[in-house]
Amino acid sequence: MGKILKAVIFGGKARVAVLDTTDTVNEAIRLHKLSPLAAAALGRALTAGAYISSNLKNPTDRFSLTIDGGGPLGKIIVAGEAGGYVRGYVQNPYIELLYRNGKLDVGGAVGRDGYISVIRDLGLKEPYAGRCKLTTGEIAEDFAAYLTRSEGIPAAVALGVLTGSEGCKAAGGVIVEAMPDISEEQIVMLEDIMTNFMGISSLLAQKSAEEILDFYFGHLDAEVFVPQGVSYVCRCGQKMEGIIKSLGEEEARAIISERGEVEIKCDFCGSAYTFGEADIDKIFGSD
């Protein structure tokens, strides 16, 4: 299981989160057979999603994160609930390697002609929806821009995924958010600290989240909170009957007449569900 460590620093004038999502990204690689480039992109998005999840207050609160930049990777979809539960997929999980300056070109794969969008369902009459135009397609910079513009919180974000022959070696990120009363001097200090996280995945391969938080932020009057877990969880089994109902009884029976059954496959985990005539009778209350 992954983890999220959070702290407030400068006496509450800034918030810090250090995330280790290595296990979560490895589960996504296993489920979707991701190429290294797809793993790098989805892993960064899952880490951003884990941060959103950690900020949800109630167990029934949910979110969805979509990154659509028009690139060859296609859309990235991440969803989840409060408690660090996340899941996700990309439209082209087998995308070939693209390199720029000797590194995987996540920005080129994602594209920049589009938006990062977040919907949070907090059980209110209408869900909260925000979006921000993509700036680089590298996801970290785009998520920082989203937090700053849509949430009104000046933020700096570092995200990374380190892949190898056996999957993900390390994945995670560092997110810093500035409160309104932070001083210019403190902002400069944080900007300087964030330059250490250009290779955050390599750093996470060497140090624990606790060590990173303590070494880089522990001296800034840090108050560290209880760690939160992060895990890849799909609850598709609870939703399949609802999907059948959304088809309507007439359409469901027409599919069974033609194919013998209705099959639905979950994009998030790959699980397949089949429904026959008896299942349709039960769902729609037929005798």
At 181, the pLDDT band (50, 70, 90 cuts) reads very high
Residue 150 neighbours by CB under 8 Å, 6+ apart: 118, 130, 131, 132
pLDDT at 277: 87
At residue 109, φ and ψ (nearest 5 deg) are: -70, -40
State pLDDT tens for residues 2-11. 999 999 999 9
Q: Is the pLDDT of residue 42 over 90?
A: yes
Q: Is the pLDDT of residue 82 over 70?
A: yes
CA distance 80 to 88: 9
3-state secondary structure of 248: coil
Mean pLDDT on 73-89:
97
pLDDT at 189: 97
Query: How many contiguous H segments (helices) and E segments (strands) does the chain have?
Result: 10, 15
Q: Is the pLDDT of residue 24 over 70?
A: yes
Q: Is the pLDDT of residue 287 over 60?
A: no
Q: Where are the domains of the chain?
A: 2-232, 236-283
pLDDT averaged over every residue in the chain: 93
With helix as H, strand as E and coil as C, how does 109-172 read?
A: HHCCCCEEEEEEECCCCCCEEEEEECCCCCCHHHHHHHHHHCCCCCEEEEEEEEEECCEEEEEE
Q: Is the pLDDT of residue 88 over 90?
A: yes
90 or 151: whose pLDDT is higher? 90
* % the chain with pLDDT above 90: 76
Type of residue found at 223: E
CATH value of 2-232 in 3.90.1300.10, 3.60.150.10, 3.90.1280.20, 3.55.30.10: 3.55.30.10
Q: Is the pLDDT of residue 123 over 90?
A: no
pLDDT at 142: 97
Are the CB atoms for 131 and 116 separated by under 8 Å?
Answer: yes
Burial of residue 5, with CB atoms counted within 10 A of its CB: 0-12 exposed, 13-18 middle, 19 or more buried = buried
CATH class of 236-283: alpha beta
pLDDT at 286: 60
